Amino acid sequence: MGAYLGWLPAGVVLLVFAALTVRSVRRAAAWERDAKAAAAAAEAADAAAEAATVTATAAMSDAALLSDAASPALPVAATSNEASDAASDAVGDAAAAVERGEPVGAATCAESSRSAGHRPMATSAVLPPWARSVGTSERTYHGLFGGVARHFNGDYPLARSYWIHGVLLGTLAQMVLLWLSRASDETLTVQTGSMVVVALVLIQLSIAAWALIGTWRSAGRHTARGGSAGWALAARVMVGVGLVRLLAGVAETAPAMEERLAYLSGKQVAGGAATVTPLVGGGVLLLSGGINDGTAMALRSALLRHPNAHTLVLESGGGWVREGTRLAEVIRSHRLNTYVEGVCASSCTIALLAGQERTAGAMAKVGFHAARGLGASPSGGGRAGAANPADDSAFGQIYRQAGLPEDFIRRALSTPFESMWFPEFDQLLKAKVLTRVGPGGEWPLMATRFKSREDASAWLKEMPQYGVIAERFPTDYERALTSVWTLSQQQAIDQKLLGAARSELRRTLDRVRPLSSDALLIDYLALIQDQLRVLQERDARACVGLVFPYSASDLSSARLLTPELRSREQALILRQLREADPTVKPDTRQDTVVRIAQRAMAGMPVQQMQIMASEAERRSRPPELVCRAVIGYFDGLARIPAAERGAALRSLFAAP
């Protein structure tokens, strides 16, 4: 039903145009009849004028003879004037006779003006104004602009106005303007290109309006030129259809023009203009912000100032595909490595793929989706109506040149523009988007951004856990903030800052966790078991580091966990911080803790029991063996009866 209602306004417009067209054709037919009558009147008037002229000449001859006979001059003049008046009366009588439909001839006119002379009368004095403009035009046109005006006034034949000016020239103009529009988008800046495209659209609308108006007017004069009223009606109906299509096109392109006007006024995409900041004495450059016009030039200028740069850190949500391609050319020409610590999405991936070595930190996110042209519809991938978006997208060509697998390209470009696909690290490594996944924080990015202690505090509070800690445990929060701010003042790399934040968080959690409810502690035990089994398959060292972290890098094992496990962990940590009850008093007596540990290790091999009991053993054994011992220990805790398990876990977590 909605589809039919959508066509209702167009139908109303067409009906109005049809009614106007029928009315115009009827008027044109009436004008043709009147024009014929007027032409007959003009012919009769000309005949009457000729007869009156003959009569006047004779009268003047008679007057001359009378003058020779010594008659007074005054009667001669009077006789001459009377002849002229009589001739005028004759012409008027002839015109009146024509209007009554009576035959009028030269004899009648001569009889009416037998004794007087008359001047010839112009035909235009008899024709009404509208009759003089029907048929052939009285206007004269010269040159190109004269031809433009002639079509606009409807003075060209209908066939020429419709087929040559409307169809042929309109189609050619649309093709040329479309080519110019695409060329401007490919070669000019977005702001300049938008200016050109807006101007081209206005020109196209002007040409369309000129063609439609001229054809409409020519159709109104078609019958007066001897043409068929049916063709005139058909032409005006098609003009009406063309106007409806023109209005629909204007409505369809209005959002695109609105977007063009926004960029024309200086709007940028994806976080504003990009900035290039030198790190580590200029050996590393940080590019952050949107990949807008001028980003590649900004990087080129930075490389001129820092020729020893070897790595480009990318932090961008994307931007223009064309500028991303230019940025990639600069990266390749200087043989830079690329690195992602935070987010690199959309056209930022073009720059990422240009690096010699392509590394992502532990918490990095690399995002892909379909491209969208400026002013185009955001839905779908590639060009509208394309059967295979991967074959029809600028991204598809770039990704193929970079050597990405076809299935990866299809998955990336099947993601709508308004969405984003963030593959897992193993997918990125397999597709060769990345050459390495690091622990993260390899460069002092945050230290560069922190201009004050408040900046460091704002960064900490971006972590939901620290938002709760700042509210419920301000002393712990101040301790963590001081640690992070001190390291940033020393221009420490991000890994050290993140390690300090995680260490302080772990310290707070170790103190708060025993204050949780039994049910929450049991849920946390189940989470640890699931995490250990996933890490055992992916990285045995990370499996050990989850329970016995020996370095800051051991605290970053979260990068190897599945998104579901990471979400569960964050939710449980937030619950522990929010629900901690200071009135809870765990049993931390030595004999209680030993008894619980013995129950957990019951049935474990002696070697695994030794590993769990001695840090020296854990450090000297292979991580695979230590990981199995850790999993066996937590499985033993899960075998404690549920009624006792919560209290047992509380005692273990609270033990020094």
Model pLDDT, residue 140? 78
Q: Most distant CA pair in the chain: distance in Å?
A: 169
Q: Over 50: is that where the pLDDT of 552 sits? A: no
Contact 368, 344 (CB under 8 A): no
What is the token pair recorded at 567? 């979400």
pLDDT at residue 308 greater than cutoff 60 = yes
Report the distance separating Cα 350 and Cα 287, nearest Å: 14
Residues in CB range of 60: below 8 A, 6 or more apart: 80, 83, 117
In terms of Cα–Cα distance, which of 341, 633, 645, 651 is closest to 497? 341
Residue 495, phi then psi, degrees to nearest 5: -60, -40
Name which residue leads in pLDDT, 653 or 174: 653
pLDDT at 325 over 70: yes
Cα separations (Å) of 638 from 253, 535, 633? Answer: 64, 19, 9
Give the pLDDT band of residue 49 (cuts 50, 70, 90): low
Q: How confident is the model at residue 146 (pLDDT cuts 50, 70, 90)?
A: confident
pLDDT at position 93 is: 57
DSSP reduced 3-state for 118: coil
**pTM of the predicted protein model:** 0.56
CB of 295 closer than 8 Å to CB of 316: no
Mean pLDDT, the chain, whole residue set: 80
Q: What percent of the chain has pLDDT over 90?
A: 47
Query: For 602-637, how does the pLDDT look when each residue is reduced to its tens digit (9 = 90+)?
Result: 989 999 999 999 999 999 999 999 999 999 999 999
CA distance 336 to 319: 21
* Contacts with 436 (C-beta within 8 Å, 6 or more apart), sequence order: 357, 358, 359, 360
Candidate from 54-58, 409-413, 627-631 with smallest mean pLDDT? 54-58
Q: How confident is the model at residue 191, as a pLDDT?
A: 76
Chain segment 66-79, per-residue pLDDT in tens:
445 444 443 444 44
Residue identified by tokens 């091999």 is 605
